[in-house]
């Protein structure tokens, strides 16, 4: 079993989860406990909100309090009160909290957090493990390393009698961390990154991820995070955004979610600009329309398997999921046959069934949106649809779907769907250069992509042509568009995919500090005159 980076120095990671293994039993017991005790109370509440389970949409996993502007204002006050003592702690002591939290998540809370994400986000056991456990642990452990590495960036020259140094201060104010449903690791990382740098944060997790997010918050508390440093505020986005964006003390927004929402946040910051004590930093990772470009020299079996994983694992709800593919005509019959033969073998069901490849999409809105694309493709004369069944009688289940289109600008080639739908455009083998142009110009996004080829000249040409088409790109006998690992592939995109500040790297930590240049002089000034003023 290959290891996953270095998140667990003494453990195999991710766990193998072979049938009957202790790891599987522990997750299974936690799964059964969650099912039998749902809905639990994640946060004390006077006005109850429900976090539903989408594998069975008539059930809920937990309840929490409905957000009000008053709650958010109190949280801002609480965070600012905690700020001075937290930012005055040495970096090593702040990092110790997150390193301890990583140890707790790797051991005591591992099965619990995986079961929570399986139940709450309809992730399979493997998808839960590589997200909620492994990637969160990696973010916290590598985060300590990245933060410390900033202090190695120091002036290289000192005049005689002078000591120059850089201090990496936290921002002035609080950070608003707004996190998505689809990756609990992102939910943990968005408040943790600024907090490790000495900031305080208000954390609003997506309503669909509250149960797992509360476990993360509890782990940080048990690891020694002082009260008030992270304010945990699950609930609706509107009262949270309106209150935080109008606060004079807003220092930064750390966001992962839709492009539309990020555009709205950015516009609101602009409207309130004269009200802020400092210019807020905006760090965001948003949508994607991620591609696989296949060259005629590609390994066909590798393309088939990589594309199925990239497009359909976790129901296509990864921001990096493979959503469009360009295939040369000479390879298309074999690729189409390979994909269509494998699709019926992908089991769709409850994550409690450990042999399931896929679960349900996250909610009714997602189900209606994704099924709408499938319905329209079935009616379009330019499209052929393989798969494409859907059923919402119990959960929001959608079959993996492949649309083949003769129109490279068809809506499912351009628009983010965020579901298990792959659209394929077949090009003439001698039109590879034109196809790269199509790939670059078809959509507004630029998050991830992959080029499949075995010709080094082709790879180099494609990387240059697609220079601004993706913030993360793979090539050769390649990985799919998904699967970036903390410490190995810093993640982020540009254009309408975000600010490309590369989570999983030191660059992102720099965004949440305000460097101060310090010059310390050890020699007294004995005169006010300069050498040029000396008389002859």
What is the three-class DSSP state of 91?
helix
Q: Which of 91, 94, 89, 189 is nearest to 148 (CA)?
A: 91
Q: Are 483 and 326 in contact (CB under 8 A)?
A: no
Terminal CA-CA length for the chain? 81
SS3 (DSSP) at 25: helix
Cα–Cα dist 87/114, whole Å: 32
DSSP state letter for 66: P
Measured CA distances, 205 to 41, 80, 126, 335 (Å): 16, 20, 22, 39
With helix as H, strand as E and coil as C, how does 498-529 read?
ECCCCECCHHHHHCCEEEEEEEEECCCCCCCC
CA-angle at 206, arms to 285 and 117, nearest 5° = 100
The b-or-e profile of 125-135 (16+ CB within 10 A means b, else e) is bbbbbbbbbbb
Place of tokens 């593919």: 325
Name, in order, each residue with C-beta under 8 angstroms of 75's C-beta and a sequence gap of 6 or more.
202, 231, 233
Q: Is 44 a catalytic residue?
A: no
Residues written for the chain: 536
- Which tokens hold the place of 287? 């949508």
Q: Which helix (H) or strand (E) element contains residue 168?
A: strand 162-170
Query: What is the Cα–Cα distance from 506 to 175, expressed in whole angstroms?
Result: 18
CB 311 within 8 A of CB 322: yes
Distance, CA of 68 to CA of 354 (rounded, Å): 40
Catalytic choice (285, 313, 399, 416): 285
Task: Report CA dihedral (168, 174, 180, 181) to the nearest 10 degrees.
Answer: 110
Q: What is the set of active-site residues?
A: 285
């Amino acid at each position: 079993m290959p290891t996953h980076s270095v998140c667990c120095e003494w453990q195999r990671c991710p766990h193998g989860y072979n049938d009957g293994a202790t790891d599987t039993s522990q997750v299974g017991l936690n799964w059964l406990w969650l099912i039998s005790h749902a809905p639990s109370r994640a946060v004390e509440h006077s006005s109850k909100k429900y976090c539903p389970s989408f594998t069975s949409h008539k059930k809920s996993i937990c309840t929490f309090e409905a957000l009000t502007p008053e709650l958010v204002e109190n949280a801002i006050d609480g965070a600012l009160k905690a700020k001075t003592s937290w930012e005055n702690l040495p970096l090593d002591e702040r990092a110790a909290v997150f390193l301890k939290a990583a140890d707790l998540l790797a051991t005591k809370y591992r099965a619990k957090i995986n079961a929570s994400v399986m139940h709450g986000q309809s992730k399979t056991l493997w998808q839960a493990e590589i997200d909620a456990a492994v990637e969160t642990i990696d973010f916290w452990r590598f985060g300590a390393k990245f933060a410390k590495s900033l202090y190695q960036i120091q002036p290289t020259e000192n005049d005689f009698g002078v000591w120059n140094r850089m201090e990496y201060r936290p921002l002035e104010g609080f950070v608003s961390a707004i996190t998505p449903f689809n990756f609990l690791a992102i939910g943990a990382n968005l408040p943790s990154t600024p907090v490790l740098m000495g900031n305080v944060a208000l954390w609003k997790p997506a309503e669909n991820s509250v149960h797992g997010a509360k476990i993360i918050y509890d782990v940080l508390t048990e690891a020694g995070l002082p009260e008030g440093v992270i304010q945990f505020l699950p609930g609706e986005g509107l009262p949270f955004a309106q209150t935080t964006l109008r606060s004079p003390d807003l220092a930064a927004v750390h966001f992962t979610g839709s492009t539309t929402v990020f555009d709205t946040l950015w516009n609101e910051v602009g409207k309130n600009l004269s009200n802020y004590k400092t210019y807020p930093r905006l760090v965001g990772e948003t949508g994607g329309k991620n591609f696989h470009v296949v060259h005629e020299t590609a390994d066909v079996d590798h393309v088939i398997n990589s594309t199925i994983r990239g497009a359909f694992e976790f129901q296509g709800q990864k921001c990096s999921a493979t959503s469009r593919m360009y295939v040369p005509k000479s390879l298309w019959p074999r690729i189409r046959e390979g994909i269509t033969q494998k699709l019926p073998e992908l089991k769709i069901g409850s994550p409690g069934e450990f042999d399931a490849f896929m679960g349900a999409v996250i909610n009714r809105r997602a189900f209606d949106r994704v099924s709408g694309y499938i319905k329209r493709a079935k009616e379009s004369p330019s499209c052929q649809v393989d798969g494409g069944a859907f059923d919402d009688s119990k959960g929001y289940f959608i079959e993996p779907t492949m649309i083949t289109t003769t129109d490279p600008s068809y809506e499912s080639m351009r628009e983010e769907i965020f579901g298990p739908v792959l659209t394929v455009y077949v090009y003439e083998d001698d039109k590879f250069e034109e196809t790269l142009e199509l790939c670059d110009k078809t959509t507004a996004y630029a998050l991830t992509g992959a080029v499949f080829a075995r010709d080094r000249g082709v790879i180099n040409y494609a990387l240059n042509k697609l220079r601004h088409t993706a913030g993360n790109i793979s090539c050769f006998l390649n990985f799919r568009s998904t699967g970036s690992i903390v410490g190995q592939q810093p993640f982020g995109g540009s254009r309408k995919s975000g600010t490309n500040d590369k989570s999983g790297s030191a660059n992102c930590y720099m965004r949440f500090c305000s460097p101060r240049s310090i010059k310390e002089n050890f020699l007294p000034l004995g005169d006010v005159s300069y050498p040029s003023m000396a008389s002859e």
